[in-house]
Structures are given as structure tokens and as C-alpha cells.
Structure 1
Amino acid sequence: MKRVFIILIFCLFAISSHGQQDPQYTQYMYNMNVINPAYAGTTEGLALGVLYRSQWAGLDGGPTTFTFAGHAPVGERVGLGISIIGDEIGPVKETNAYIDFSYTIPVTAETKLAFGLKGGLTFHDIGIQEGTIDLIDLGDPFFAQNINETTPNIGAGVYFYKPNRYYISVSMPNILDAVHLDSNGNKIGSETQHVFAAAGYVFDLSENFKLKPHGFLKYASEA
């Protein structure tokens, strides 16, 4: 008989209003390596996930996020992963492409501690000439052309877990403080650094039912 899983999600957000924000990961437990590279390879075999999130449905320019993530163990202690995240709000588009690496060490006979690193590129595009915004001053030189940037970034995390029972995750997927400039070299924004903390536990309610509560905390520092 197939087991039935009950999932409860508790999300707490402490978000700064300065600078660019990372995409909202409300379904993080289904693609954990997006926010924590240490998660890569912690499951058996290849794991793939695709998610789409649309906020303010029906409103033009509302935030949308597309995520593709995959990871697998390579050997006994090494894991590799990949993630692609596309975030769009109004004329602003941001695409992140990352490769994840993790190394796991046994703590006890049943628990493990994984360390992870991620590295990749962020493609930032402000399509101001695509008719996505209404300009008040058509002669403003800031809006004379589209703004396209590519910036590198790195991330790190730790993941302590007992398979099929509980986990504790702490990570910082964007460590570098990237600054966005326009075509004239003027600062138009910067990336806000985020710290993610998550935890979960599996309760056996009966032979066929499990309760899986998750907790999630995101902190954004000022840019």
C-alpha cells in the first residue's frame, strides 16, 4: 500500500526592502539545492524538479519565477547539481545558472553532515525599450537603451540530516555583492545578500501516514 504524506509548511520572512531580491522559494523543499548546494547528492539516484510560480495572476508585469533543478550523488560522498532560475517582474528579467558541489561526511551511524559550494552566472536585463513600461519623460537618457549585464556569483551551505527523518539547512546562495551599472557607469541597483535557514522532521502517525512539517527563514541584509 502506498504511503500518504502530509506536508505542513511554515514560512517566516525577514526581508529588507533595499536592492534586488532573490526569487521567492515557497516550494523550496522540492528543489533544496537551489538555495543550498550542500543538498546536492543527498538523495538516492538522480533527482529532477521543475517549478513555476506566478504572483498577482492576471496583472501584467506581475512577478513570475521558473525553476529547474537537478542533482545526484557521484560516488559515496560527493554530489553534483545544477539549477536554473528565471525571475521576472515588469521590465526586469534575471536568470541565474549555477553548478553545485557537495561533500558529505558521516557524523554518526545514522546522521550525516554535508558541505556545499555553488558557482555560476547571473544574467540581468532591464528591457526598457520593449514597451513594458510607460515613460513620463521620453527624453530621459537613463531610458535610452536596454540594460544587459552578466555577473558571476558563488554560494555556500551546510546540511545536517538523518535520511528519511529530519534535516537542518543553513546557506547563503549569493555571497558576492554585485552592483548593477547602466551604460554610463552609474549605479542603478545592487544584489541583496540572503541567508536561508530551514528545518524539517518526519513524524510517523501510522503505518500509512506521515506528517512532515517544515520551517523556513530567510534574512536579507541591506545592499
Structure 2
Amino acid sequence: MKEVKNIFVTIHFILFPLLGLCQQTPQFSQYMYNTISINPAYAGSREIMVINVLNRNQWVGIEGAPVTQTLSAHTSIPKSNLGVGLSVINDKLGFERMTYVYSDISYKIDLDAYDEYKLTFGIKAGFRKYSLDDELLNDPLYNNDPELANVDYKWDPNFGVGLYFRGDSFYLGLSAPKIFRYKNNTEYFSLDRMTYFLNGGYLLDVDRHIKIKPAFIVKYTDGAPISVDISSMMLINENLWIGANYRLGDSLGALLNFKLTEGFSVGYAYDYITSNLNYATAGSHELMLNYEFEFPKPRCTCKNLYN
């Protein structure tokens, strides 16, 4: 048994730092509902309180594959152009774990007299902590390894910036959620690299029962290939969203979001892997809960493009 574990740890040291180049910032199939985690300018854009919880199990069947949980909330500040947000991300890849805690503040500018076009600037500030799984640290085969002893477990500060442009039926965002670049004190473990995001979407009213909203997100991490996601969802009777998404060269997926009660919805995404990992995994699963709290007096007449 120890021999098998020894082989797995060796493979982890060789393979997962390479996978980590693509996993620097966690990826989500339901990215349109979790924009606050990557773009601080999104804070308060709905002018209501939004709370989002998400869990993603990537590449199910591959031991040590990424597992990610997020908790986020954001709202506008009454009688001001300011928005605030908070996000916590826990990302596990192999024996490595990244924890991010960030706060967000945004400032909105109305670009026309009809309150149709808005440009928002945002700043994200917080900390990240790198750690290793207790199973590895407590294993007598490795707990005396000097490389493990050199891993830095302190909380490192970081900040990010973002822009968010919104019209009555579309949005476009550009952000860099992590400006500082950190390297751990050992050659084995992955480097925290700067990542850029460009995302956008459009809401099309087909009739009073059906709406269509295509969306995209482009992610670029220093030293890694560009990641491109394209999705399209259909809203039926203001209650049920169904759709599909495609991650270029990686996966083809299905999206589902259902409004359980007024303000509360649940979402699910499944990714069928089309890359070379297809033979080893049953795909990726993502579950999301979303809660919206409206203020006593509605302060936003804009369409609900995305949560």
C-alpha cells in the first residue's frame, strides 16, 4: 500500500504543478453566476443583495483532481454609487490547497440620462494562503522531507482590479483578480501566477415566455494556454434556465438552473471531458445555490442579465 502511495505522490510532484498552470484561478462552468469571484467591478451591479455558494468537482475519477468551493456575497450601498462584496474560495489540487479571502468595492458611473448604460470600476483586496494536505504532512515517509519543511504557510496579501460595462441587454467585463505573483519556497510546488479575464453576455427576448442569453469568458494565465468558454442558455417562463457550454479543447457541458422560490435558485452543470483526460474521468460536476434579497424599494429597473 505504501508503494502505491509513494508512486502517487511522485506522480503528483511531477504532474500536478503542470496542471496547476491551468488551475491558477479556479474555473467554473456557471461563471455567469459567480462573476464577483473574478471581477470586483461586479459588486453591487444588481442593486440587490446576492449570496452565492458553489461546489465544483473537476475530473471525477482522477485522484487528486481539483475540488473547489466558493462563498460570495455582494450588494450596492443605498443612496450612493458604491457596491461592496466578499468572496471566499477554497481550491484543492492534489496535496495542495489554496484559500483566498477577498473584499471588493466598486464605483458606478451612469453614462446616459436614461440610466441605461453604466461603467463600473472595482478593486479587490485580500489574502491567500497556500498549504499542504494533512495526509501528506503526517505520512512518516514524507514528514521529514526538507522540501516540505520549506513550504511557506503564511497569508500573503494580494489585490485585483476590474471594469464592468453594462447596458440594458448586455454586459462586458475585464479584470485581473490577482496582481501580485508568489512563488513557494520549494521547487515541487506550483507558482501563483497573474490571470486576466474577459467576459461578456447578451440577453435576447424571443417572446414573453422565452429568453436567450449567450455568454463567453476568456481566461489567460501567464505561462499557460488561453482558456475560452462559450455558453448559451434559455429562460422558460422566468423560472427555468437550460443551456449548454463549450470549453475550447477541453469539455462540452450542460447547464440547468431552477428558481425554487422567489429569490432562491439552484444550479447544476455537468462537463463531458473532450481532452486527452477523457479516458480517465467521468467528467466534472458543479452545484450552485443562489439567494437574492431585494431591498424594500426597488432601485434597479435593469434586466436580470446574470446573477
State whether structure 2 residue 175 is matched by structure 1 residue 171.
yes
State whether structure 2 residue 150 is matched by structure 1 residue 149.
no
**Structure 2 partner of 1:29:** 32
Greater RCO, 1 or 2 (C-alpha within 8 Å, sep 6+): 1
| Unaligned 5+ runs, structure 1 | 1-14
**Structure 2 partner of 1:120:** 126
Residue 136 of structure 2 contacts residue 142 of structure 2 at CA under 8 Å; is this kept in 1? no
Q: Distance in 2 between matches of 1:85 and 1:168?
A: 23
Q: Distance in 2 between matches of 1:40 and 1:73?
A: 7
Q: What is the count of residue pairs matched by the alignment?
A: 204
More helix as a share of residues: 2
Residue 104 of structure 2 contacts residue 125 of structure 2 at CA under 8 Å; is this kept in 1? yes
Distance 1:188 1:51, change over 3 A: closer
- Helix, strand or coil at the partner of 1:190: coil
Distance 1:219 1:133, change over 3 A: farther
Distance 1:116 1:154, change over 3 A: same
**Structure 1 partner of 2:214:** 213
Distance 1:37 1:139, change over 3 A: closer
Q: CA deviation at 1:144?
A: 4.9
**Structure 2 partner of 1:43:** 46
- Helix, strand or coil at the partner of 2:153: strand
Which residue of 85, 91, 94 corresponds with 2:95?
91
Q: CA deviation at 1:18?
A: 4.5
Distance 1:74 1:91, change over 3 A: same
| Unaligned 5+ runs, structure 2 | 1-17, 225-307
What does the per-residue CA deviation read over 1:102-158, in whole Å, with 9 as the maximum and x for residues that have no partner? 00001122100000000000011023x524898988864213576523111000000
RMSD: 2.8
- Helix, strand or coil at the partner of 1:130: helix
Q: Distance in 2 between matches of 1:52 and 1:66?
A: 4
Q: Give 1:175's aligned amino acid.
A: I
Q: Distance in 2 between matches of 1:125 and 1:201?
A: 39
Percentage of pairs with the same residue: 35
Q: Give 1:155's aligned amino acid.
A: G
Q: Distance in 2 between matches of 1:55 and 1:133?
A: 26
Which residue of 123, 130, 135 corresponds with 2:135?
130
Residue 50 of structure 1 contacts residue 67 of structure 1 at CA under 8 Å; is this kept in 2? yes
| Alignment TM-score, normalising by the size of structure 1 | 0.81
Which residue of 64, 67, 73 corresponds with 1:64?
67
**Structure 2 partner of 1:101:** 105
State whether structure 2 residue 79 is matched by structure 1 residue 73.
no
Q: CA deviation at 1:189?
A: 4.1
Residue 149 of structure 1 contacts residue 180 of structure 1 at CA under 8 Å; is this kept in 2? no
Q: CA deviation at 1:177?
A: 1.2
- Helix, strand or coil at the partner of 2:174: strand
What does the per-residue CA deviation read over 1:168-212, in whole Å, with 9 as the maximum and x for residues that have no partner? 000000011122225xxx795421110000010000111111001
Aligned pairs for 1:194-205 (under 5 A) are 194-205=195-206
